[in-house]
């Protein structure tokens, strides 16, 4: 049987909410406007659709409620009895039966009124029949309002039940109130059960899980039991009795030998004997708790006798279990014996389940699949097991660098330092400790090491000073021609000025943090002009005309201007016509030649292929432009600025989603 999940049951609305939900669905998901001048067939289909749609919604929601609630005969007897204890299962069946009856009534109402609307002779008649059909459906739903409210309460209580699997390995903790059951539960599992120093702190079943021998066991903490008849027990006690009667589990009966729980050992033994019938054929362990305050040896003879009687009963139900495993001592305060109690219960439960499987009929089918080969002895000589030395050496764990560090010390001077060269694979083992030479420009660094390096440095310095002196003497020669003394002075001044300009430029660039240099056309201080260059060259005694002409040829051409003579002649009235025409002709030729020489470049067509663009020809470029425009089309339709535009506009503008709608469906927009 699969564990039933009661938490998946949907919320059950009350009668008024049920009607509101269905009528709202009918209003929103069907047509809302019909015209008086439409054909009678269209009017009939409009109102028949309203009635059928309402009936289908009622039917769907009622069927979901009926199907999601469990059938008490189809679930495990533990849940059947537990739900019957928590609430009367007869009321549960009656409530579900009333929902089923209401569903059938609504279906019958819809069938009858659809037949009447089918023969309606006017808009008014069809509308009245539709209103009557929906009204009767709502009346039926209001009649089952108390049943819906009752089922909602049942659903809430069922959703709070722990997810207990009745077929898995289970340990059940029971006993009188306030004997340490919840404390033991918190010690062996990760459950957080409330523990208080008064009785009936635990009012329902609590579930936890623990592991033993790589297997998962569920541990159930039950409320306390009192010594009274079954008919007199309340709902809290009946939860414990239901779990004891219906779950195949190992039972831990807790016994407070100190009596601080409010019940002496005689009363606790009486409770044990009252539930003895529910403990048959189940592993049972008597747990003496609070032994840190009162050892078992210090108990009176009467109490010891009662404990021995309980031990004998446990031996009978445990079917030949060990005496030491049936009666255990424990203290949840000091945690002494807690894990031994858990292990004993798990082991007893495991042995019982294995024994039950061995007695089943399936074991023969499984045993037939196994074959155990038993070797025959060839002689009477005894041969002891022997392991080769090589195998023993292989089993030894190889020491790592971390192990060597731990053995030889990890801190301080002169301790072990891991060698990165010990695992090098070389032709000669002695090469591992050689110093690897450093290479610079294809040469070994050791080649540059010299003992007389300081003497050589002095020689190089003196040689360099001699070379500089020779260059200064012969540095004023240009293209093999010797310069005069005046020309040498001028050349030295130019070189000095050039060096100062370079130095200023580098300083300015470093202070400006490598910003781009300002072009000359944006030079507001007018430091670099042709006039200044002419003045400086003239001051040096040089002819600046060639430098100025070269600078003018590289500068940008001026805009075309009118000829002053032509302007003056055009204003004079006394000049002859022939002379005027000649001057006009001459002016046109001059302006034409100037315009041709300084005309603007023609605009380049978009399909022209430039070198470096990566296109083979103009047709390929046109095709690429078309593909690019097509890829932007979707973005442009969505009114996006670019691919990274994530602005979400108003998806429901008021002028499109307010007021009544015309014919058609909702998704037509």
605-631 pLDDT, tens digit per residue, is 888 888 778 888 889 999 999 998 898
pLDDT tens-digit map of 275-300: 888 888 888 888 888 888 888 888 88
pTM for the whole structure:
0.50
Secondary structure class of 449 (helix, strand, coil): coil
CA distance 38 to 441: 99
CB 160 within 8 A of CB 133: no
If you average pLDDT over every residue of the chain, what do you get?
Answer: 80
Strand partners, 444: 439
User: If one looks up domain 6-157 in CATH, what number appears?
Assistant: 1.20.120.1190
Strand partners, 250: 171
- On the question of pLDDT at 62 being above 80, the answer is yes
Predicted confidence band of residue 589 (pLDDT cuts 50, 70, 90): low
Q: Are β-strands 439-440 and 443-444 bridged in parallel, bridged antiparallel, or unpaired?
A: antiparallel
**Structure confidence at residue 473 (pLDDT):** 65
Which stretch of 37-51, 97-111, 273-287, 407-421 has the lowest confidence by average pLDDT? 407-421
Which residue in the block uniquely carries the two structure tokens 């404390």?
183
Which residues, at least 6 apart from 112, have a Cβ–Cβ distance to it below 8 Å?
none
Strand partners, 212: 215
- On the question of pLDDT at 596 being above 60, the answer is no
CA distance 111 to 99: 19
CA distance 93 to 440: 95
Alpha-carbon radius of gyration of the chain: 53
Strand partners, 207: 220
pLDDT tens-digit map of 635-669: 888 778 887 888 877 767 776 677 766 666 655 54
**Structure confidence at residue 414 (pLDDT):** 64
- On the question of pLDDT at 3 being above 90, the answer is no
Residues of the chain above pLDDT 70, percent: 81
Q: Which residue has the higher pLDDT, 439 or 531?
A: 531
User: If one looks up domain 164-360 in CATH, what number appears?
Assistant: 3.40.50.300
Q: Which residue has the higher pLDDT, 71 or 1?
A: 71
pLDDT tens-digit map of 102-130: 999 999 999 999 999 998 888 888 999 99
- On the question of pLDDT at 558 being above 80, the answer is no
pLDDT tens-digit map of 244-255: 888 888 899 998
CA distance 58 to 141: 9
Q: Which residue has the higher pLDDT, 256 or 450?
A: 256
CB 271 within 8 A of CB 176: yes
Q: Which residue has the higher pLDDT, 594 or 437?
A: 437
CA distance 321 to 642: 80
Which stretch of 114-123, 173-182, 314-323, 463-472 has the lowest confidence by average pLDDT? 314-323
Which string of b and e fits 342-357 if b means at least 16 CB within 10 Å? bebbbbbbbbbeeeee
Report the pLDDT averaged over residues 567-590. 53
Residue-range domain boundaries for the chain: 6-157, 164-360
């Amino acid at each position: 049987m699969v564990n039933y999940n009661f938490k998946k049951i949907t919320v059950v609305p009350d009668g008024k909410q049920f009607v509101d939900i269905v009528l709202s669905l009918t209003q929103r998901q069907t047509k809302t406007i019909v015209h008086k001048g439409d054909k009678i067939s269209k009017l009939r289909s409009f109102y028949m659709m309203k009635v059928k749609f309402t009936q289908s919604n009622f039917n769907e929601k009622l069927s979901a409620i009926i199907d999601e609630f469990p059938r008490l005969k189809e679930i495990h007897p533990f849940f059947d009895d537990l739900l019957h204890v928590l609430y009367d299962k007869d009321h549960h069946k009656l409530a579900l039966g009333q929902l089923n009856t209401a569903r059938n009534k609504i279906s019958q109402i819809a069938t009858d009124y659809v037949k009447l609307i089918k023969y309606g002779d006017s808009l008014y008649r069809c509308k009245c029949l539709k209103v009557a059909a929906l009204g009767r459906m709502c009346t039926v739903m209001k009649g089952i309002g108390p049943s819906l409210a009752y089922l909602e309460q049942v659903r809430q209580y069922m959703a709070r039940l722990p997810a207990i699997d009745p077929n898995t390995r289970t340990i059940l903790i029971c006993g009188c109130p306030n004997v340490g059951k919840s404390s033991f539960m918190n010690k062996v599992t990760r459950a957080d059960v409330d523990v208080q120093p008064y009785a009936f702190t635990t009012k329902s079943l609590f579930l936890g899980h623990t592991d033993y021998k790589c297997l998962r066991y569920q541990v159930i903490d039950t409320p306390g039991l009192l010594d009274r008849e079954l008919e007199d027990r309340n709902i809290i006690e009946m939860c414990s009795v239901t779990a004891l009667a219906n779950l195949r589990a190992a039972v831990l009966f807790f016994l407070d030998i100190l009596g601080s729980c409010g019940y002496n050992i005689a009363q606790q033994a009486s409770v044990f004997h009252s539930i003895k019938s529910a403990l048959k054929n189940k592993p049972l362990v008597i747990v003496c708790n609070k032994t840190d305050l009162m050892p078992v040896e210090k108990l009176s003879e009467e109490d010891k006798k009662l404990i021995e009687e309980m031990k004998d009963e446990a031996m009978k139900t445990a079917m030949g279990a060990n005496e030491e495993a049936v009666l255990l001592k424990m203290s949840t305060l000091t945690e002494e014996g807690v894990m031994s109690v858990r292990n004993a219960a798990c082991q007893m439960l495991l042995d019982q389940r294995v024994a039950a499987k061995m007695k089943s009929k399936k074991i023969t089918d499984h045993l037939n699949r196994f074959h155990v080969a038993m070797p025959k002895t060839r002689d009477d000589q005894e041969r002891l097991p022997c392991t080769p030395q090589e195998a023993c050496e292989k089993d030894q764990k190889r020491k790592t660098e971390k192990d060597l560090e731990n053995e030889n010390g990890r801190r301080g001077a002169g301790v072990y330092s891991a060698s990165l060269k010990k695992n090098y694979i070389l032709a000669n083992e002695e090469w591992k400790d050689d110093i690897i030479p450093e290479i610079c420009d294809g040469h070994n660094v050791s080649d540059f090491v010299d003992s007389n390096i300081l003497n050589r440095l002095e020689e190089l310095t003196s040689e360099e000073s001699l070379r500089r002196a020779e260059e200064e003497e012969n540095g004023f020669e240009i293209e093999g021609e010797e310069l005069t003394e005046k020309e040498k002075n001028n050349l030295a001044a130019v070189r000095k000025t050039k060096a100062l300009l370079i130095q200023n430029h580098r300083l300015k660039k470093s202070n400006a943090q490598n910003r781009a240099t300002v072009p000359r056309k944006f030079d507001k201080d007018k430091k670099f002009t042709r006039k200044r260059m002419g003045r400086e060259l003239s001051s040096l005694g040089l002819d600046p005309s060639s430098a100025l002409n070269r600078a003018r040829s590289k500068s940008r051409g001026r805009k075309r201007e009118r000829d002053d003579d032509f302007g003056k002649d055009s204003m004079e009235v006394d000049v002859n016509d022939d002379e005027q025409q000649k001057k006009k002709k001459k002016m046109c030729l001059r302006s034409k030649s100037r315009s041709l020489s300084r005309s603007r470049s023609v605009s380049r067509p978009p399909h022209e292929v430039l070198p470096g663009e990566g296109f083979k020809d103009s047709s390929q470029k046109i095709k690429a432009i078309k593909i690019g425009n097509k890829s932007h089309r979707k973005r442009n339709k969505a009114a996006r600025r670019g691919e990274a535009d994530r602005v979400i506009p108003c998806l429901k503008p008021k002028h499109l989603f307010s007021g009544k709608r015309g014919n058609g469906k909702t998704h037509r927009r």
